[in-house]
Structure 1
Amino acid sequence: MNHETFFENFELLIDAPNSVEELRELILQLAVKGKLVPQDPNEETASELLEKIIADKKRLIKEKKFKKSQTLPEIKKDEIPFDIPKTWKWMRLNDVGDWGAGSTPDRKKPDYYEGSILWFKSGELNNGYINDSKEKITDSALNDLNRSALPPCTLHS
């Protein structure tokens, strides 16, 4: 659903089943595309922010808090699903973070789940975006897996 259709049919939609979910999806789509709020030309550009993120990532690699990641090719035009504001930039997750796969906390241990730590699974990568984590794990699960959680905004200044 696009935003024009949404507003044209707002009264019908608000009473329809799943209307709240539809509204959330629309808001998310508008935000991801840079259409939710006016773009401020005085804000830092994606390129400027990316330079800071790359510097932080290099520092964390040097401190052995991150592993050096594989260099991936630049994003090609045919990979871009939609236009974004001119000050934004398409990036691969690998360029701005530390990603990995591993084991899942034992599902037979209920004390490992319903915690406060976001636990992302590959299946949560919907349409190329990570929206939210459906599961949250406990400190106990994280410790028993011998993993560490990155603090919020680790890569942002």
Structure 2
Amino acid sequence: MSEKSIKTVKIIALCISLILMIMAGRAFYEHRYFKGAVVLSSGVTEVKKLSDYFSPLEGTTNDCNIYILDSGNPGGTVMVIGGNHPEEPGANLTAQVLVENAQLEKGRLIVVIWANRSASTVSRPGDAYPQFYHIPTDWGIKKFRMGDRWAKSCLLKLKQRI
């Protein structure tokens, strides 16, 4: 192979590598900054942040929303925590369905959809996990983010704040 041919092959390989890196970077960026829509039911009386109860979380990735549904009538209080393990969609999906549909007659319901928000922003692409899953609804397809249990960097930042 001539010197010119080798140089051409290297340039082509570099261009292909750059295209693949851009495609992967775009997919990672979309996953990390995806904001899933939460349509509040009329039963939601208040939306708070976890940092309202623990101020070092303010401004971090783990400062998640807490949805409070209060019937206004005496009764028990139930807390539903979803998203502890963001790669297991059942809990966060159940929590979101409650926030979007629950109507109380008595007591209070406190719901956290993404308890481990930092882990919901990373994925497991090397393990053949999808980045998103989709559920058809009456108003169109709803998109949800899959995550992973990995949350180390956010917890280290939190430790530095305390």
The TM-score, its normalising length taken from structure 2, stands at 0.24
Q: Which has the higher contact order (CA 8 A, sep 6+)?
A: 2
Higher normalized strand content (fraction of residues): 2
Choose 1 or 2 for highest CA Rg: 2
